[in-house]
Amino acid sequence: MSQPLPIKKEKLENGTFYVPESYFREWVIKREFPQFLVLGCKTVVCKMAPHPDKKEEFLLSEDLWDTLLIPHEGPVHLFQQGNFLYIGPLIGIFTAGFTDNKLRPVGDRSMLFAKLLSVERKVGAYYFMFGPHHINWEESTINGLFYTSKGWIERKVPIPSVIYNRLPNRKTENLESLKSAMDRFERDFHIPIFNPSFFNKWEIHHSLLTDPKVSHYLPETYLDPDSSQIEDMLARHSHLYLKPAKGSLGQGIQQILKRGESYYCRFRLADQNRLRRYSSLNRLLLRQYPSGKLKSILVQQGINLLKWNDKAIDFRIHTNKDENGKWVVSAMAAKIAGSGSVTTHIANGGEVKTIQEIIHEMGKTSEMLNRLKEAALEISESIDQVISGIIGEIGFDLGIDTEGRVWLFEANSKPGRSIFSHPSLRSHDLLSRTLPLKFAIYLMKQSIAKRKDVVRS
């Protein structure tokens, strides 16, 4: 990735872009000067000139600055494709759930987006947030929300080079207005959009089963089970989990155990962890699932996990694509189940520790860490090959059993960030926020290499 340089607005000669001498000298040698300057999906004709003060920065005449709708001064990248120069890039985060509160434009998620956007200057780009109501299709512009030292500021900018999909949930994702906007960005503007949709747990499981490189990480799992299938699995496994195929954040997960002639169900209700005993499996299923059908429910083999202080442990691993489009591990943490909890989620009373803490306290070696990393990267590659669209990040819940075997429990296309509340994971937090923007720049470069003149004035 090229080094970003500051860009500033100047009241110099109209229609001119001033660049460091090294850029200008290269064009002189080649006797080929770019003729167009592009930000997002907007282009202008311009002439090139060397920086008047020989500084390592870009200067842009005020008329072109205003025409391109450049939101502010700051470090940007410069990419050339033929006689087009692309600055920025301009990256938009597409989301929903906006409010009228200018201090908290997306309610409780405002701080999350503020932190995502705050890496703009570190990477060198224009990075903003928007929803469908911010788009002006006739002008090909967006009233984007930028997070600055003065808080949230709205600026009119061109439709961006790349879009990062951060729609909050499946229900929102399926709204016709949002799907229509996404389709139009891709159809009319040829914009790369990454993280296209939430994963379906069964589709992920079913697709990975056919890949011998990763199928050994999968617990025995079935979709839409009946009572006889569950009974059969209970005879072979110490416990089972029932999960919504389209669930997230651990919601709706129930654990079933059989002890003697009794059946137990552990679940969460009204923010409390519950445990109920039943005399038969049919009674349990009828009470826990009153419809009598386990439609769109997965039954999954329970695993005898490693424990810390007699509490089950699993691991959250974040993977991201980097500036070269390659999968890397960006964050790792151990999650310890809360008392009586069916999952290790913090909302259910779970606790986060660094993997280094767990390794030290349990007397394990770094080999455990390496096995988790290897599994996360192998599964990332496999999912990337079978899921349509561009995937930029995945959050995995992995487990290690008492014999040291790694298991995949869930893969999330839009992982939560609760593990970053741990003070020792702040550097991982920064890395996992920086990589999506770097990957967006990679996507922009790939996009402009494929098209020569799909820009709008």
Residue 58 CA to residue 112 CA, distance in Å, equals: 31
Residue 347 CA to residue 18 CA, distance in Å, equals: 53
Residue 10 CA to residue 63 CA, distance in Å, equals: 9
In this structure, which amino acid lies at residue 237?
Answer: H
What does R_g of the chain's alpha carbons equal in angstroms? 26
CATH, domain 91-194, list 1.10.260, 1.10.3470, 3.40.50, 3.90.25: 3.40.50
Residue 445 CA to residue 1 CA, distance in Å, equals: 10
The domain locations on the chain are: 5-89, 91-194, 201-217+305-413, 221-301
Parallel/antiparallel/unpaired status of strands 327-336 and 311-321: antiparallel
CATH fold of 5-89 reads Barwin-like endoglucanases (2.40.40)
Residue 117 CA to residue 137 CA, distance in Å, equals: 24
Judge contact between 290 and 275, C-beta under 8 A: no
Of 88, 81, 83, 95, the C-alpha closest to 124 is 88
Class of 201-217+305-413 in CATH: alpha beta
Residue 245 CA to residue 203 CA, distance in Å, equals: 9
The residues, ordered by sequence, that sit 6+ positions from 267 with a Cβ below 8 Å of its Cβ are 253, 254, 255, 273, 274, 276, 288, 342
| Length of the chain in terms of residues written | 457
Residue 21 tokens read as: 């001498």
**pLDDT tens track, the chain, 457 positions:** 468 999 999 988 999 999 999 999 999 999 899 999 999 999 999 999 999 999 999 999 999 999 999 999 999 999 999 999 999 999 999 999 999 999 999 999 999 999 999 999 999 999 999 999 999 999 999 999 999 999 999 999 999 999 999 999 989 999 999 999 999 999 999 999 999 899 988 899 999 999 999 999 999 999 999 999 999 999 999 899 999 888 766 678 999 999 999 999 999 887 788 999 999 999 999 999 987 778 889 999 999 999 888 888 999 999 999 999 999 999 999 988 776 566 655 655 678 888 888 887 777 778 889 999 999 999 999 999 999 999 999 999 999 999 999 999 999 998 888 888 888 888 899 999 999 999 999 999 999 988 654 444 4
